[in-house]
Structure 1
Amino acid sequence: MTKRNIEELSLLDDFLLGSVLSYPVIGPKVCKKMISIILQREIKELHIVPQKSYFGADTDKHGIRLDVYAEETQENDMEMVYDIEADKRGKEELRVSLPKRTRFYHAKIDADSLASGEDYSKLKNVTVIFISPYDPFQRNRMVYTIKNGCVEEPDLDYNDGMKTLFLYTKGT
C-alpha cells in the first residue's frame, strides 16, 4: 500500500477516522456528535478506545480489531457500546459476508463484557456501525438497521440489546 498525504484521506479511511475520534482534544466531542446524528438522540459522556483488539481464544482462533470503540453509561446505569467501522472494501465476497462478520463482532464484544458469575442482565447493549461508500445490500438505502426479532411474531418485543447499522454514504 502506498503512503498517502492527509489531504487525500476521508473519514472512511481507518487511520483518519481513528485519529480524529480518539484525539483527546476534539475526539469525544466529534464522536458524540457523530453518534447523536446517526442514532438521532442525545449521547452522554463517552469513553473512547481507538483500535480496540479482541484476540482469539487461542493461537488458531480469529480475533478482531475495532476501528473505534466507545462506551456510554446512560442514566439508568445501562452501558452502551458503539463500534464504528469505516469499511471501503466493497468486493463482492466481503460484501456478502457482512452479516456473519457483524455477528462475529457482536459475539467478541459480548464475550468480553461480562465478569465471571455476573448476571446476563448486565450484558452491555452493543451497536455496531459500518460506514461505507458501497451499498452493502444493493437497495440504495442510506441506512440499514439490523436487529434480532421473532419471525412468527414480528411485533414481539425482543430487545436483546444488539443492533447493527450499515450507513451507505451515497444512498437515499
Structure 2
Amino acid sequence: MQDLATKFANMTIQSDFIFKKVMSRKRICKHLLEELLQIEIADINYIEAEKTLEPEYTNRGIRLDIIVADDKNTHYNLEMQVKNKKNPQTKAFVLPKRSRYYQALLDFDLLQAGQPYDLLPPTFIIFICIFDFFENGNYVYTFKKCCLEDLEPELPDKATTMILNTKGTHGEISKDLKSFYDYVNNHIVTTDFTKQIDNEISYLKLDTKVRREYMLMEARLLDERREGIAEGKDVGLVEGEAIGLARGEAEHKLKVAKLMLAKGCYSLQEITELSGLSLADVEKLKKEV
C-alpha cells in the first residue's frame, strides 16, 4: 500500500481532496460553470468549500464538496464521482438517490425555519462522473421535473440536476468543457483552461500546509474506521466494519428526522421517506421532540 506522502504526490483532479482545492479557486470554478451552462457569471461567492450541512458529518461521509452562489443568487453544488457505486445490500446504484438527498440537504440549509418556500433560490446539483451512468454516450444529462401526462409543462421549482459524463461522445459542449473532460480522464492539457488547472494542482502539491491538511484528514478517517472495527472486534473484521457503518447510519437517520421535524413543514410520510426511519420511529421521535 502506498504511504500517504506518495499517495498525495500521485493524486489527480479525480481525487475529492484535490478537486475541492482546485474548485476553491474562483476563476476556475466560475469558468467551468460558465462553459457548462453557456452563461456569463459576473461573480461567485463560496458558501463554504466542503460544507458540512446538518445533519452533521458521520462515518458515511455525507457532506457537499463545493457550494457557490452567483450574482443572481443561483446556488451550485459541484461533486466529483469517480465510481458508480452500488448499495451492497440492495445492489441498486446510489447516484439517483444521492442526487435527491443532496438536493434536500441544500434546500434545508437555504431556507430558514419559518421562511416562505418561494424564497428558495434556483439550484444546480452537478455531478462530474468518470463513467456513463445511463450508457447513452451523452456528454451531459440534465434533469428537471416534468408532467408525465403532458411532457411540455415543467414544474418551475428551479431545481436542476446535471450528471456530466466525462466519457461521453454525443452532444454539443464547448471546447474548454471538452478539454476539462479530457483532463479529468487522462490528465491531458490541451487548452489554457486545463493548463490553469494543472498548474494549480502542481502548486497545491508543493504547499506544505495543503499536504499537512491532507495527512490530518486521512488520519481522521482512519481513526473513524478503526472505531467501527473496534466495536465489532469480538465478531471479526468484516462484522466490525459493518457495525461501525450501521452506527453512523442510524445516527445520521435520527439527525435528518430531527431536522425535518424542527422545520415543521414536512409530513410524517415525507420524513420517513427522506430519513430512512420507519413511520413508528418517526412518530416516537416526534413525541420526544
What TM-score bracket applies, with the shorter chain setting the length?
0.7 to 0.9
Map of 1:1-16 to 2, 5 A cutoff?
2=2, 3=4, 4-6=7-9, 8-16=10-18
Answer yes or no: is 1:87 the counterpart of 2:89. no
Corresponding residue number in structure 2 for 1:56 = 55
Give me the whole-angstrom Cα distance separating, in 2, the residues matched to 1:95 and 1:45: 39
Shift of 1:92: 4.5
Q: Deviations over 1:134-161 (max 9, x none)?
A: 1111222111111111111211132211
SS at match of 2:156: coil
How much has 1:63 moved relative to structure 2? 7.6
Partner of 1:167: 164
Are 2:138 and 1:144 aligned? no
Q: Which has the larger radius of gyration?
A: 2
Post-superposition shift, 1:84?
0.5
Tell whether 2:118 aligns with 1:121.
yes
CA distance in 2, matches of 1:100, 1:92: 11
Instruction: Tell me, in whole angstroms, the C-alpha distance in 2 between the residues paired with 1:112 and 1:63.
Output: 18
Question: What code does the residue aligned with 2:168 have?
Answer: G
Match of 2:20 in 1: 18
Higher relative helix content: 2
The alignment's C-alpha RMSD in Å is 2.3
Q: Secondary structure at the match of 2:83?
A: coil
Which residue number in structure 2 is paired with residue 101 of structure 1? Answer: 98
Distance 2:156 2:11 in 1: 38
Question: What is the CA–CA distance in structure 2 between the aligned matches of 1:118 and 1:109, rounded to whole Å?
Answer: 15
Unaligned runs of 5+ in 2: 170-289
Give the conservation status (yes or no) of the 8 Å contact 1:133–1:168: yes
Distance 1:128 1:43 in 2: 17
- Contact 2:142 2:160 (C-alpha < 8 Å) held by counterparts: yes
Q: Larger % of strand: which?
A: 1
Correspondent of 1:32 among 10, 26, 30: 30
Amino acid at match of 2:30: K
Q: 2:114 is paired with a residue of what secondary structure?
A: coil
The answer to whether the Cα contact below 8 Å between 1:56 and 1:63 also exists between their aligned partners in 2 is no
Q: 1:69 aligns with which of 52, 67, 76?
A: 67
Paired residues of 2:145 and 2:155 also in contact (CA < 8 A): yes
TM-score relative to the length of structure 1? 0.83
Equivalent of 1:45 in 43, 52, 63: 43
SS at match of 1:51: coil
| Gap runs ≥5 in structure 1 | none
The alpha-carbon distance between structure 1 residues 113 and 16, as it changes in their structure 2 partners (threshold 3 A), is same
Question: Which amino acid in structure 1 is aligned with residue 70 of structure 2?
Answer: E
Give the 3-state SS of the residue equivalent to 2:27 in structure 1: helix
SS of equivalent to 2:41: coil
1:95 to partner: Cα distance: 7.4
> SS where residue 166 of structure 1 aligns?
strand
Q: TM-score, normalised by structure 2?
A: 0.51
Counterpart amino acid of residue 167 in structure 1: L
Aligned-pair distance for 1:124?
1.5
- The aligned counterpart of 1:131 is 128
Q: Which amino acid aligns with 1:19?
A: K
Percent identical among aligned pairs is 32
Quote how far apart the aligned CAs of 1:44 are: 2.6
8 Å CA contact retained: 1:32, 1:46: yes
Pick closer, same or farther for the CA change 1:68–1:41 going to 2, 3 Å.
Answer: same
Three-state SS of the structure 2 residue aligned to 1:54 is coil
> Alignment partner of 2:105: what SS?
helix
Letter in 1 for 2:35: I
